[in-house]
Amino acid sequence: MKKFFVIGNPIDHSLSPKLHNYWFKKNNIEAIYDKKELNSDNLKNFISGIKEKKIFGINVTVPFKKSVIPFLDKLSPEAETTQSVNTIYLDSEKVIGHNTDIIGFQNSIRNVSYDIKDKKILLLGAGGVAPSIIFALNKMSVSKIFVSNRTKEKAENLKDYFENLIVVDWGEIPSFDMIINATSVGLNNNDRINLDLSKIEKGKFFYDIIYNPEETEFLKLGKNLGHQTENGKKMFIYQAAESFHIWHGVKPNVDEDTNKILNQ
């Protein structure tokens, strides 16, 4: 039986096992997907299970997406540029690290039929997920990417990898079409981002990477002001679907049932 894991710390709340085990059943694949809480000390040992063929595939989540890199043989170009790995597998006896968060984000935008090409984007946050979002935005040919982070230096550092970024001060709101919350503000209920978004024009798109809670204060505000909103649930589902495709060569169906599974 093929074994899969999602590794992180904490990992209790990960929905990846639910999703992958559901898709195994749907696609008649004999495999099992579990979660494993690790510390940085046992990452190396755990990942060696891939080369030893005890583990077929690993998903990586916070806080290890960068720290797994020294224990891999090769990175995909996406993982290399973003320095972020969420999917590990064996190919020609080499342990490969790939980043499917990028395609996850792209597909979530396609899914809502938002015409993102030539749009001006304001990205809030410069933490772990930011490079994946920027990589995807560039692939989708947006016109401008403003980045604003409470600690400005971290936003400036992103320019080493993405030259086209325009860094703005925290609190400054440039004219934009779409605003993306990639900070961790909102993970705790009632968390509020201390930005004044009340004066922006109508018809913008508020996107939050967070999907639990389903509607952050950021999205509530966007909705109340009459803007389009979307949380990170589809991004989560599509990153999982892409990992599944890499490991099994099959594209799982992403439909209403998939959504329901995650709500159970």
- Residues noted as catalytic: 65
Q: Which two tokens stand for residue 147?
A: 């980045």
Judged by CB under 6 A, how many residues of this single chain contact ligand ATR? Answer: 11
Burial of 19 (0-12, 13-18, 19+ CB in 10 A): buried
Strand partners for 24:
none
Write down the least CB distance from residue 255 to ligand ATR, Å.
Answer: 30
Q: Which two tokens stand for residue 264?
A: 């159970």
**Angstrom distance (rounded) from CA 7 to CA 113:** 32
C-alpha angle 202-235-215 in degrees, rounded to nearest 5: 55
Q: Which stretch binds ligand ATR (CB under 6 A): 19-27, 80-88, 150-158, 246-254?
A: 150-158
Q: Which stretch binds ligand ATR (CB under 6 A): 48-56, 69-77, 104-112, 123-131?
A: 123-131
Nearer to ligand ATR by C-beta: 61 or 258? 61
Nearer to ligand ATR by C-beta: 139 or 192? 192
Whether 227 and 202 have beta carbons less than 8 Å apart is answered as yes
Task: Check binding of 8 to ligand ATR (CB under 6 A).
Answer: no
Q: Which two tokens stand for residue 174?
A: 């440039």
Number of residues assigned to the chain:
264
Nearer to ligand ATR by C-beta: 19 or 124? 124
Write down the least CB distance from residue 215 to ligand ATR, Å.
Answer: 18
Task: Check binding of 126 to ligand ATR (CB under 6 A).
Answer: yes
Q: Which stretch binds ligand ATR (CB under 6 A): 77-85, 114-122, 147-155, 227-235?
A: 147-155
Q: Which two tokens stand for residue 32?
A: 């099992």
81: helix, coil or strand?
Answer: helix
Whether 136 and 102 have beta carbons less than 8 Å apart is answered as yes
Task: Check binding of 149 to ligand ATR (CB under 6 A).
Answer: yes
Of 9, 184, 212, 228, which lies in the binding site for ligand ATR, with binding defined by CB under 6 A? 184
Q: Which residues bind ligand ATR (CB under 6 A)?
A: 125-128, 149-151, 154, 183-185
